[in-house]
Structure 1
Amino acid sequence: MTTELVHAIDKPLSFLKSVRRSFTIYLKSILNIQKVTVTSSVFLANSICAENITRQNGTKLNISLYRKFVIREYVERSNLEEKLISLQNGYFVVRYGRKQYNFKLFKNVEALAAESHISTLRYLQRCFLKRITRTKDSYVYSHVNKLLLCKQIEFDTTEFNIRFSKLIVLSTKIELDYDEYAIMSSGKARICLKTFRKMLAEDKHEGINVWGIIEVTCACTSLVCLVVTFITYCVFPTLRTLPGKINMCLVFAMFHGHALFYFILYVSRPQVACLIIGTLLHYFWLVIFGCLNVCSFHMYQAFSSETVVVFSEVKRLCMYIAYSYGVPAIIVSSNVLFTYIYSDKQTFGYAGDMCFLNHQLSFVFSFIVPITLICCTNVFFFTTTVMQIVKRPKLENEGQIKLNRIHTAIYLKLFSVTGISWLLQIIDTFLPMSVFSRIVSVLNDLQGMFIFWSFICNKRIFNLYLKSCRSNLNKTVKEIAEQETKSIELTTSKQEE
């Protein structure tokens, strides 16, 4: 619900109580009922309770409302359901003090998730009221949406996916808003028959989903490129230097992170699988940035550090792996533990449309903050390294220094592309689906291809493969020649006998 402020509000919490009281009266009046029991109610405003709401031209107060209620009297159901649906475009008046405020009701996806976020509302800098009534009786609730009045059809769990509160029909890629479908206790989805027929008509006119083909092609190609890159490092021992092993750790994490992300996008999954995949996705995304942080630190140490490294290569590699893979494990475990405790043992913190962090504080402190810190340190490491490279004289016999320069340039490009694409991805999560979303998806899909192009598509790797092919060819020719020689000797010995 929303209203344009005509007066300043000096006590927001008291005003919110007046809104709740006025809405209850309005609801009973519209539905023509008296015996109503509210079992759950959340009023969440877009203002802060501790501060007065000042009035300026065009200032609006938005309140997200979520309410469960039970009607304890006989009613005409069809008539009641029509009135409930009509509430979405209704108006009601709130009198506060000697002033009057006109509120307009409209559907709001934030209100739909308000109850599931009750345990974390006290940490938000927003004014809210919540009320939960414990009853001995159990009820089956029905969402107020279009499905109350229409004939329905049912989708199996393998025929749809849910993303950002929208139901995506996998066969047509058509998206339905949150009030156009209902999820049953079996996990199946129901939509109106009229909506389904409209979908079929739209699908006939849309033709080929070009963006979908592009995204799937880039995603599959990227995963294949990551696999080929990892295999290349496994095949050639000369590539498995310390930077090479760091690259292998990065490629391993990136493959699993992207594979899990694509699985969430294109495959339907039950709740338990959603929890496991969301946890692993969170972990591997943090590992990716941890590996990039190790790359930048290693290059920084190679060019800028004045201290002599006393650790062996094996110990340094173990320290790098412990940091890039261990610290994310601690962050993810801590998030699961704290979320489980502060939600009164109701959730582990991974659910929702993308099977990812479904609490704002968890998302900020266990994902945004670590990535921001890593990006800031990477900027420092790369800036210092580049300055040292510019100052260092270029000598012809500096083979290792030259190789380090190449690695630094690659890591700098890699960090830039990866950091920018993930930044755009995070921004896109707060925006509706658009062409920008498609472009961001393609950029993320191309990360594996960029890794392959940076580390594998060069003259050195080509020569290694060429040398290996020649060696295998010579070995095969030699084996064939030896077999022919043995055959000739055997034939000669038989003739002599």
Structure 2
Amino acid sequence: LQFCLVVSLCTSSVLYLLGPFVETVPELCKVIAILIHYAYLVTFMWMGVIAYDMYRTFSVSVQISTRGQKQLVRYCVFALTLPATIVAVALIMDSVGDDGSFKPKYGAYVCQITNHKANLLFFAGPLACVILFNIVMFTMTIIALIKSWKQSNLARNDDGYHFDVYFKLFVIMGFTWIFGFIGPFVHEAFMYVFIVLNASQGVFLSVVSVCTKQVIGELTNCNFSKRSYQSGQNTELTKI
């Protein structure tokens, strides 16, 4: 799931960076705007999927045997089809003849949704729903963990490891976008914080996914073994 999230986030970021270079080509700019919209919605859906899977992982009421490839396929279908449905509705609104209030106007002057009301409906709206859903799932997961710990002390360390990873992902993928919501209504400084944090998502994900205690421990052991081997080789050469 983390890999799917990283791929969707990388795709949306690349498309977003590509946008300014094709603004002079209206048709291509519109296509890029639609793809950016879809890619970010897919990213938001994967955020929700991870939050739900976090709850399934730690909830004592869910059978672990239901997890597997079939569940991953269901997640993929949800994360890809729901954004496609939203974009399809937006495209229908965009193709309507009259200049409606919720007409997205893809690529009108920049390669994004240029209508503010349409942006709230088709972009900010789904994001707000995902953030609220993540908060609910996160709260339910904490409750499930507390109940599980009260019933048994088994596998606490393993649960703590996975919970720590998902918690960091939830904070990184949800908290940064909250700044984007409150920035225009509170103070301009919040938007700068949002831009910096959002631009650093790739770094944060790398730290969360790669720089774990397990990986660091294995790297440390690997370096120690390598040094021990080199020390042994040097000792043998000295004896010779």
Coarse TM-score class (shorter-chain normalised)? 0.7 to 0.9
Decide whether aligned partners of structure 1 residues 404 and 262 sit closer, same or farther in structure 2, where only a CA change above 3 A counts: farther
Normalising by structure 2, we get a TM-score of 0.77
Q: Distance in 2 between matches of 1:317 and 1:417?
A: 22
Return the letter of the residue paired with 2:146. V
Asked whether 1:381 is paired with 2:120, we answer no
Q: Deviations over 1:281-332 (max 9, x none)?
A: 1112111121111111111122225243664511000001111122111111
Decide whether aligned partners of structure 1 residues 375 and 312 sit closer, same or farther in structure 2, where only a CA change above 3 A counts: closer
Asked whether 1:328 is paired with 2:59, we answer no
Asked whether 1:256 is paired with 2:11, we answer yes
More strand by share: 1
Decide whether aligned partners of structure 1 residues 426 and 352 sit closer, same or farther in structure 2, where only a CA change above 3 A counts: farther
Return the letter of the residue paired with 1:405. G
Partner of 2:228: none
More helix by share: 2
Matching residue within 58, 63, 68 for 1:303: 58
- How much has 1:453 moved relative to structure 2? 0.8
Matches within 5 A, 1:415-430: 415-428=170-183
Q: Distance in 2 between matches of 1:275 and 1:300?
A: 38
Decide whether aligned partners of structure 1 residues 343 and 431 sit closer, same or farther in structure 2, where only a CA change above 3 A counts: farther
Asked whether 1:360 is paired with 2:87, we answer no
Return the letter of the residue paired with 2:203. M
Partner of 2:148: 392
- How much has 1:252 moved relative to structure 2? 0.4
CA contact (8 A) 1:257 1:284 kept: yes
Asked whether 1:451 is paired with 2:230, we answer no
Q: Distance in 1 between matches of 2:132 and 2:222?
A: 42
Matching residue within 276, 290, 301 for 2:31: 276
Return the letter of the residue paired with 1:273. L
Q: Which has the larger radius of gyration?
A: 1
- How much has 1:370 moved relative to structure 2? 1.5
Partner of 2:71: 316
- How much has 1:261 moved relative to structure 2? 2.3
Q: Distance in 1 between matches of 2:184 and 2:110?
A: 10
Decide whether aligned partners of structure 1 residues 324 and 441 sit closer, same or farther in structure 2, where only a CA change above 3 A counts: same
Asked whether 1:340 is paired with 2:95, we answer yes
Matching residue within 409, 417, 428 for 2:164: 409
CA contact (8 A) 1:337 1:348 kept: no
- How much has 1:428 moved relative to structure 2? 4.9
Unaligned stretches of 5+ residues in structure 1: 1-245, 472-497
Q: Secondary structure of 2:7's partner?
A: helix
- How much has 1:438 moved relative to structure 2? 3.5
Partner of 2:230: none
CA contact (8 A) 1:336 1:349 kept: no
Q: Distance in 1 between matches of 2:192 and 2:99?
A: 38
Q: Secondary structure of 2:53's partner?
A: helix
Return the letter of the residue paired with 1:391. K
Unaligned stretches of 5+ residues in structure 2: 226-240
Q: Distance in 1 between matches of 2:189 and 2:22?
A: 24
Q: Distance in 1 between matches of 2:190 and 2:67?
A: 47
Decide whether aligned partners of structure 1 residues 390 and 444 sit closer, same or farther in structure 2, where only a CA change above 3 A counts: same
Q: Deviations over 1:209-238 (max 9, x none)?
A: xxxxxxxxxxxxxxxxxxxxxxxxxxxxxx
Q: Deviations over 1:147-205 (max 9, x none)?
A: xxxxxxxxxxxxxxxxxxxxxxxxxxxxxxxxxxxxxxxxxxxxxxxxxxxxxxxxxxx
Q: Distance in 2 between matches of 1:255 and 1:469?
A: 32
Q: Distance in 1 between matches of 2:97 and 2:164?
A: 45
CA contact (8 A) 1:257 1:285 kept: yes
Q: Distance in 2 between matches of 1:436 and 1:390?
A: 34
Decide whether aligned partners of structure 1 residues 402 and 284 sit closer, same or farther in structure 2, where only a CA change above 3 A counts: farther
Matches within 5 A, 1:21-40: none
Give % identity: 24
CA contact (8 A) 1:335 1:349 kept: no
Aligned residues, how many? 221
Q: Distance in 2 between matches of 1:431 and 1:260?
A: 29
- How much has 1:364 moved relative to structure 2? 2.4
Q: Secondary structure of 1:454's partner?
A: helix
Matches within 5 A, 1:72-471: 246-264=1-19, 267=21, 269=23, 270-304=25-59, 306-308=61-63, 311=66, 313-341=68-96, 343=98, 349-393=105-149, 397-398=154-155, 402-428=157-183, 436-462=190-216
Normalising by structure 1, we get a TM-score of 0.40
Decide whether aligned partners of structure 1 residues 404 and 339 sit closer, same or farther in structure 2, where only a CA change above 3 A counts: farther
**1 or 2 for the larger relative contact order (CA 8 Å, sep ≥6)?**
2
Decide whether aligned partners of structure 1 residues 295 and 405 sit closer, same or farther in structure 2, where only a CA change above 3 A counts: farther
